[in-house]
A and B are shown apart, each in its own frame.
Chain A
Amino acid sequence: MDPRNAVAAHARRRRTASCAALAAALAATLTPLAAAQSLQLATAQSLQQLGSLSIEELAAIEITSVSKRAEPLASAASAVYVISADDIRRSGVTSLPEALRLAPNLEVARVDSQDYAISARGMNSVNASNKLLVLIDGRSVYTPFFSSVFWDQQQVTLADIERIEVISGPGGTLWGANAVNGVVNIVTKPASATTGGLVDARLGDFTQRADARYGGRLGGVGDYRVYALADREGDTRLADGASADDAWKARQAGFRADLAALAGSVTLQGDVYENLVDTPGGRRSGGNVLGRWTRRLDNGGDVEVQAYYDQQSRSDVAATGGGSSDRVRTLDVEAQHAFAIGATHRIVWGLAYRTWDDEFTNTANPFVLVPQAQTLDLASVFAQDTIALPHRVDLTLGAKYEYNSFSGSALMPSARVGWQADDDNFLWAAISRAVRPPSRLERDLTAPGIVDTSPGFGAEKLVAYEAGYRTQLAPTATLSVSLYYNDYDDLRTTSPAPVTVLPVSFGNGLEGHTYGVDAWASVSVLPWWRIDPGVTLLRKDFHLKPGQSDIAGIQTVLGHDPGHQVFLRSYMDLPHATTLYVGLRHIGGLDDVDVPAYFEADVRLAWRATRNLELSLAGLNLVHRFHAEASAPPIHEIPRSVYAGLRWNF
C-alpha cells in the first residue's frame, strides 16, 4: 500500500494542510546556483564602451570581482541564465515563481493557487523537487522539513529585483547542500538604485496585487527603502469542473538599507508577512532580518560576512477536523574571502554555520515527526581556485566540506574548465559532485503501523558531467548550449517491512541517470525587436539497486517531467512609447501521470503615458480556458486570466 494514500484520505486536498504536505512529501523525491553578471557588461568592458556611458550609468555598472557572488557570467563554466529586471518588467509576470518561467533552464509548473513545483534538469513535482537551492539576497529559503520550497511564502517586490541568476546543474562546491540539480539566486537592487516612490498595481480576474515602495538617502551615509505589498490569488479548478476553493491572500512589508560603514559597506534588510487561506482555513507567517558587511581590501581582495535570522510557520485546519502546524527558525552565519595571487590564481574560500530549530504538530492524521521538535546544525568550509592557464583557458578547482548533524559529513568537489577560444566563442566542461542531506521528514516521519522512523536514511548523491558552448553568432545574436549527464545514487525508496509490508520506512535504494540539453538564444532581429528562444530536453533512466525494494512507486521520488520544453519570447519597442511582449511555451506531457502536453501564450501591451506613468494590459495563459501543469493529486487546472496594470514612479 502506498502510505501517501493513507494520508490523502485524511485531507481533502493534498496541500491544504501542512501535514498533508509532509505526508505528500513522503511519497516524493528529493531536488537545488552561483554567478553574477550580465552579458551586456562583459561586452561593455572595453574603455570605448565605458566612455560612451553617462556618469550615472558608470555608477551603476557592476564591476567584476573575484568573489563567488560576482563571477562574470560570460566566463562562468556552467549553464547560467540571467533573468534581467527589464525582462521581468516587460513580461508583466505577477509573482516570483511566475518570473522564474522566464528562465529556459527551469521547469516551472503551477500546482494550484498557492503552490508551484520548480526544478532544473528534471525530478519535478510538488514533492519531488527537493534538489534546488533558492536564495533571496543570500538567504536560503528551502525548508528542512522536506528540502523543497514553499513558494507561497517567498514574495519579493518585483520592481526591486535586479536580476535572477539561474544555474542548471550542481553548485554544491560554492553553495553547499541542496544545490544538486540547480541554484536560483534572486538579487534585489541596492537601496541606492530604488530611491523615490513607486506604485506597481495589477487588477485582474485571477490576480490582484499592489506593491508600494519608497526609498531615499540616509543622511549622507547611505540609502534606504521600505515597501509593502498585498496580493490575492484566485481559485483554480479541479478536473471535474468544480472550483478548488484554494484562493488566498498575502500581505508583506519590509525594508533594505545600504550604508557605507565599518570601513566597508553594510546591508541591512528584513521582511515580515502573513498569508491567509480562506478554505478550510490556514495561515502562513514569518519574517527575517539579514545583515551583510562587505569590504574591498586595499590589495584588491574582498571580504564578506553575512548573518540572518528567519522564522516561518504554517498552520492549517484540515477539512476532516484537526489541524497541523509547523515552524522553523533559522540562524545562519557565513563569511567568505576572495583574493588573487598574481595574475594566475583567483581564490575564494569561506565558512558557514546554520542552525535550524523546528517543530511540527499534527492532529489531522496519525503522521507525526518523532521527535516533534528538533535542532539541526549545518557547518561547512569551502575553497575554490580559478587558475588562468595559457591560451585563455581557466581551470577552476574547488571543494566544499559540509557537516550535517543529521547525516554526518559530505564532500562536494568540482573541476571546471573554460576555454575562451576567441572573443566570440567559449567552451566549458565540468565534473562535480553534489549531495542532498536527509530532510526531517525522511528521518523522523512516523505513523503507528504505517511508517516507521528511518534513522538509517542517508544523503542522496549526484555526480554530474557537463559541457557547454556559448557563442556570439552575430553582433546581434547569442547562443548557449549545455549538455549534461547526471549520475544519481542513493535516492530514496519506500521500503516495506519484511513479511508484514507495513510499517514501511525510507531507504536509499534507487540509482540511475538523467541526460539532456538546455539551450537558449537571444536574437535582436531589428533594433526594436528581440526574440529569445529556448529549449530543454530530458531523458531519465532509473532502477532499484540489487536487494532493494520500493512500494511507493519510484516516480514519487523521480517526479514527473516533460521530455521537452520549448520557449519563444518576443520583446518589441513600438511607436508611441508602447512595448509589446509575447511569451509562448510548449511543455511536453509529464511522464507517468495524466498531465498532457500543453501550449500557452502570455501577452502584455504597455504604454508609457508619461515619464513616470506606465499603463498596461496583459493576458496570461490565453490559449486555454483552463490547463493543468502539475501532477499532484487531485490535478488542479489553471485558468486563463487578464489584468490591467499601473506603474507610477514619483
Chain B
Amino acid sequence: MRIRALALALATLAGFAQAAPDDPGLEAAVKATYLYKFADYIEWPAGRFSSPADPLTLCVAGSDAITALVDAAAAGRTLQNGRPIAVRHVALAHERDCDILYLAPRREESEQEALREVRGQPVLTVSDGPVVGNLHAVIAFAVVDNRVRFDIDLDAAAQNRLAVSSKLLNLAVRVRPKL
C-alpha cells in the first residue's frame, strides 16, 4: 500500500519534470570555465600547434547558457603554458579547425552528425550531459553532489588522437575505457 503510494508519487514527479527550462547562473559559468581549462590536461598530436603563440581554438556550436558565457569566460585568459585562446561560434557542419568543440544540446541526429564530422580529427569534443546515440563526446559534463564534474570517454579520445592526462582522469566521475 505504502509502496504503491510512493510509486504514484514518483510517477507524478516524473510527469512534472518535463516543463522546466534551463536555469543559467553559476552552473553554466563553471562549465564555461572548464571548457578552456580542459586544454591544460589534453595533449594534441605533435604538430597541431606551430608555435607557442599559435592560439587554441575553442569552438562552440549551437546556443545555450554555456555558449552565452564562453566569450567572457575566456577573455584575457591563456593556457598554463601561455598559449592564447580564440573563441569561435560555429555553425553545424562547419566545425573545422577547432581544437575544442562544445556541442550545445540539440536534436540527437545533429549531435551525432557533428561528432561524425570531427571523428578522427584532433578535436576535443565536449557535451553537456551524455550524448544520445552511438558516438560520444570525449568529455561530457555531469552534475554530481551538486558539483559540476564530467565523464571521459577514452575511446572517443583515442579516435581523435588525443591523450588525456591522469590528473583529468582522476577528476572524472566515470571513465569509459578504450575499446
Contacts and interface: CB of A to CB of B under 8 A. Distances in A.
Interface of A: 41, 45-47, 50-51, 53, 55-56, 58-66, 70, 190, 192, 220-222, 258, 260, 265, 267, 296-301, 303, 305, 333, 335, 337, 339-342, 346, 351, 353
Contacts of A190: 144-145, 147
B20 A301 contact: yes
A41 B143 CA distance: 17
B6 A333 contact: yes
A59 B147 contact: yes
- Of the listed residues A41, A51, A337, the one surrounded by the most CB atoms of chain B closer than 10 A to its CB is A51
B33 to A, nearest CB: 4
Contacts of A258: 144-145
B24 to A, nearest CB: 8
A64 B27 contact: yes
Nearest to B128: A298
Given A47-B32, A55-B171, A303 B13 contact: yes
29 contacts: A46-B29, A47-B29, A47-B69, A50-B29, A51-B33, A53-B33, A55-B37, A55-B38, A55-B171, A60-B147, A61-B26, A63-B25, A65-B23, A65-B27, A190-B144, A190-B145, A220-B175, A258-B144, A265-B145, A296-B129, A297-B17, A300-B22, A301-B20, A303-B13, A305-B10, A305-B13, A337-B17, A340-B21, A353-B2
A65 B129 CA distance: 17
B44 interface: no
Nearest to B17: A297
B143 A296 contact: yes
Contacts of B41: 55
Interface of A: prevailing SS: mixed
B25 A64 contact: yes
A419 B29 CA distance: 24
A267 B2 CA distance: 23
Interface string B105-147: 1000000000000000000000001000000000000111111
Contact of B16 (A56, A220, A337): A337
B179 interface: no
B75 to A, nearest CB: 8
- Of the listed residues A41, A58, A65, A333, the one surrounded by the most CB atoms of chain B closer than 10 A to its CB is A58
Q: Which 8 residue pairs of A and B lie closest in terms of their CB atoms, listed nearest first?
A: A339-B20, A301-B20, A190-B145, A63-B27, A299-B20, A300-B23, A50-B33, A64-B26
A217 B142 CA distance: 17
A45 B20 contact: no
B30 interface: yes
Nearest to B168: A55
A51 B78 CA distance: 10
B23 A340 contact: yes
A331 to B, nearest CB: 9
Kindly state the interface size class of chain B when it binds its partner.
35 or more
Given A297-B20, A339-B17, 17 more contacts: A45-B26, A47-B33, A47-B69, A50-B29, A55-B171, A59-B171, A62-B146, A64-B25, A65-B23, A260-B173, A296-B129, A300-B21, A305-B10, A333-B2, A335-B13, A341-B20, A353-B2
A221 B172 CA distance: 10
B156 interface: no
Nearest to A70: B146
Interface of B: prevailing SS: helix
A63 B144 contact: no
A192 B13 contact: no
Nearest to A295: B17
Contacts of A260: 142, 144, 151, 173-174
B13 A50 contact: no
Given A51-B77, A299-B20, A65 B146 contact: yes
Contacts of B34: 55, 58
B9 interface: yes
Contacts, number: 130
A56 B17 contact: no
A61 B30 CA distance: 8
Contacts of B43: none
Contacts of A59: 147-149, 171
Contacts of A298: 105, 129
A56 B21 CA distance: 29
B17 to A, nearest CB: 5
Interface string B55-81: 000000000000001001100010000
Contacts of A46: 29
Contacts of A303: 13-14, 17
Nearest to B15: A337
A284 B13 CA distance: 39
- Of the listed residues B29, B69, B171, the one surrounded by the most CB atoms of chain A closer than 10 A to its CB is B29
Nearest to A72: B26
Contacts of A63: 25-27, 30, 143, 146-148
Nearest to A350: B13
A414 B52 CA distance: 59
Contacts of A51: 33, 73, 77
A63 B148 CA distance: 7
B91 interface: no
B62 to A, nearest CB: 14
Contacts of A346: 23
Given A47-B33, A300-B20, A56 B171 contact: yes
B9 A351 contact: yes
A47 B149 contact: no
A62 B143 CA distance: 10
A47 B73 contact: yes
A340 B24 CA distance: 10
Contacts of B32: 47
- Of the listed residues B25, B38, B105, the one surrounded by the most CB atoms of chain A closer than 10 A to its CB is B25
Nearest to B167: A55
Contacts of B33: 47, 50-51, 53, 58
Contacts of B37: 55, 58
Contacts of B167: 55
- Of the listed residues B14, B30, B40, the one surrounded by the most CB atoms of chain A closer than 10 A to its CB is B30
A55 B5 CA distance: 44
A222 B175 CA distance: 10
Contacts of B146: 62-63, 65, 70
A446 B16 CA distance: 48
Contacts of A337: 13, 16-17
Interface string B65-101: 0000100110001000000000000000000000000
B18 interface: yes
B73 A192 contact: no
Nearest to B25: A64
B147 A61 contact: yes
Contact of B22 (A45, A62, A299): A299
B153 to A, nearest CB: 12
A58 B9 contact: no
Contacts of A351: 9
A299 B18 contact: yes
Contact of B144 (A64, A265, A299): A265
Interface string B153-175: 00000000000000110010111
A50 B6 contact: no
